[in-house]
């Protein structure tokens, strides 16, 4: 039977359509995916993301261990509470998972990884951490609520305790402040500003109610997916997995090769691919005609061959269908390709995966 987050009773009361997601029972939507999507872009939306895996690492060698475990260098985190995005790689350079690392001190760190990879990632960290004296602690006692949108920080400040609200307001992007076992992080998965708030599980329902009363609209998995797609954010299991390298999914920038004395797992494979040049790239597709781009559809690129759509759907901001596709390297320079939808050949524009940036540039021009 699927697991339920501490906010499950709230979802049930709201009449949301529940689905099984990575072993968790979560709301697909609360009535209208489109309205929820727009609420985040125009005002603020509220997400129950308690299914995400939160792992605490502590010990005198925690920093050194993470410099080997993660492809990005945790030494780039310049202040306590700073955060870093990166990947866990296998020796062949394949992506075991993507994650955020929060640094509290030289010996205390927190990782947030995906729900579907919980068992795999926890076991990987346990095995890799043994020589370093590091034992991962999964924070089962915490729930996570994400508040995203132009008014997210304002409305969150109205419900957080005074001292915590002041500290959260002062946070620079991609950083966090601790609150006991919990935290408030200025991170997210929608392309909008806002917070991801970790609280003790027993306090989650009250936080959810107060944020709703402040004005935030409850949002489900469907809106979360369309929002992250518009913002150019990858999804593990769709856009990347252990068969795919960071370069093939547009995440080569997370592979920090500058420190020669940092032999992170997968470094040799990453360096070799960088020297040869990647054979594939992840590009953004925009469908100018009617239809919907979906994962699994084949994309033909003139002169280069074919690739496959990894994520696709309708973009409410652009008013058309968009997608990510893994294509032969150089496809973005070609600029266009063909996709067959219901036996009809459609032309797609090939470009950046950052569709919100695309929209902003169009408005400015």
Q: Is residue 357 part of a domain?
A: yes
Residues 38 and 169 reside in one and the same domain = yes
pLDDT at position 97: 98
Q: Are 171 and 177 in contact (CB under 8 A)?
A: yes
Q: Is residue 123 part of a domain?
A: no
Q: Is residue 59 part of a domain?
A: no
Residues 44 and 154 reside in one and the same domain = yes
Residues 211 and 289 reside in one and the same domain = no
pLDDT at position 347: 97
Residue ranges in the chain assigned as alpha helix (H): 8-14, 33-42, 62-69, 118-129, 152-159, 162-169, 204-214, 221-230, 267-276, 331-334, 355-364
pLDDT in tens, the chain (365 residues): 789 999 988 777 777 889 999 999 999 999 999 999 999 999 999 999 999 999 999 999 999 999 999 999 999 999 999 999 999 999 999 999 999 999 999 999 999 999 999 999 999 999 999 999 999 999 999 999 999 999 999 999 999 999 999 999 999 999 999 999 999 999 999 999 999 999 999 999 999 999 999 999 999 999 999 999 999 999 999 999 999 999 999 999 999 999 999 999 999 999 999 999 999 999 999 998 999 999 999 999 999 999 999 999 999 999 999 999 999 999 999 999 999 999 999 999 999 999 987 655 544 44
Residues 182 and 292 reside in one and the same domain = no
pLDDT at position 10: 77
d(CA 259, CA 353): 29
pLDDT at position 11: 75
pLDDT at position 16: 80
| Last-in-domain residue among 230, 265, 290 | 230
Residues 147 and 226 reside in one and the same domain = yes
Residues 40 and 184 reside in one and the same domain = yes
DSSP symbols for 129-179: HGGGT---EE-TTEEEEEEESTTHHHHHHHHS-HHHHHHHHTPPSSBEEEE
d(CA 282, CA 351): 10
Residues 158 and 221 reside in one and the same domain = yes
Domain span at 25: 3-48+141-230
Count of domains for the chain = 2
Q: Is residue 86 part of a domain?
A: no
| Last-in-domain residue among 230, 264, 299 | 230
Q: Is residue 190 part of a domain?
A: yes
Residue 16 corresponds to which tokens in the numbers above?
Answer: 């949301």
Q: Is residue 127 part of a domain?
A: no
DSSP symbols for 37-91: HHHHHHS-EEEE-TTSEEEEEESTTHHHHHHHHBSS-GGG--STTBEEEEEEE-T
Residues 168 and 312 reside in one and the same domain = no
Where residue 44 sits, what CATH number does that domain have?
3.30.1360.120
| Last-in-domain residue among 230, 248, 265 | 230
Where residue 307 sits, what CATH number does that domain have?
2.40.30.110
Residues 146 and 24 reside in one and the same domain = yes
What pTM value is reported for the model?
0.95
Residues 303 and 200 reside in one and the same domain = no
Q: Is residue 113 part of a domain?
A: no
Q: Is residue 108 part of a domain?
A: no
């Amino acid at each position: 039977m699927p697991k339920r987050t501490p906010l499950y009773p709230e979802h049930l009361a709201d009449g949301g359509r529940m689905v099984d997601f990575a072993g968790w029972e979560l709301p697909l939507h609360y009535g209208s995916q489109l309205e929820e999507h727009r609420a985040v872009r125009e005002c603020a939306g509220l997400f129950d993301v308690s299914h995400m895996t939160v792992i605490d690492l502590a010990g005198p060698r925690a920093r050194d261990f993470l410099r080997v475990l993660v492809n990005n260098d945790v030494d780039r985190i310049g202040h306590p509470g700073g955060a870093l995005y990166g990947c866990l790689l296998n020796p062949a350079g394949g992506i075991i998972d993507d994650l955020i690392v929060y640094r509290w001190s030289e010996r205390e760190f927190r990782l947030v990884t995906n729900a579907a990879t919980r068992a795999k990632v926890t076991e990987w960290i346990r095995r890799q951490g043994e020589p370093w004296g590091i034992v991962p602690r999964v924070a089962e006692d915490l729930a996570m609520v994400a508040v995203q949108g132009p008014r997210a920080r304002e409305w969150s400040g109205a419900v957080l305790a005074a001292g915590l609200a002041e500290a959260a307001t002062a946070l620079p992007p991609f950083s966090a402040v601790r609150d006991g076992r919990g935290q408030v992080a200025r991170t997210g998965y929608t392309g909008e500003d806002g917070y991801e708030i970790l609280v003790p599980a027993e306090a989650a329902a009250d936080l959810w109610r107060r944020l709703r009363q402040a004005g935030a609209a409850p949002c489900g998995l469907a809106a979360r997916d369309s929002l992250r797609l518009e913002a150019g954010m990858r999804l593990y299991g769709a856009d990347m997995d252990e068969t795919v390298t960071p370069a093939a999914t547009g995440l080569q920038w997370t592979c920090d090769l500058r420190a020669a004395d940092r032999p992170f797992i997968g470094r040799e494979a990453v360096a070799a691919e960088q020297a040869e040049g990647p054979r594939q790239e992840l590009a953004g597709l925009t469908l100018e005609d009617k239809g919907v781009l979906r994962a699994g559809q084949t994309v033909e690129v003139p002169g280069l061959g074919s690739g496959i759509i990894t994520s696709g759907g309708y973009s409410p901001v652009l008013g058309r269908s968009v997608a990510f596709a893994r294509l032969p390297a150089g496809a973005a320079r070609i600029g266009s390709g063909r996709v067959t939808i219901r036996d009809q050949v459609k032309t797609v524009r090939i470009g950046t995966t950052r569709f919100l940036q695309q929209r902003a540039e169009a408005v400015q021009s």
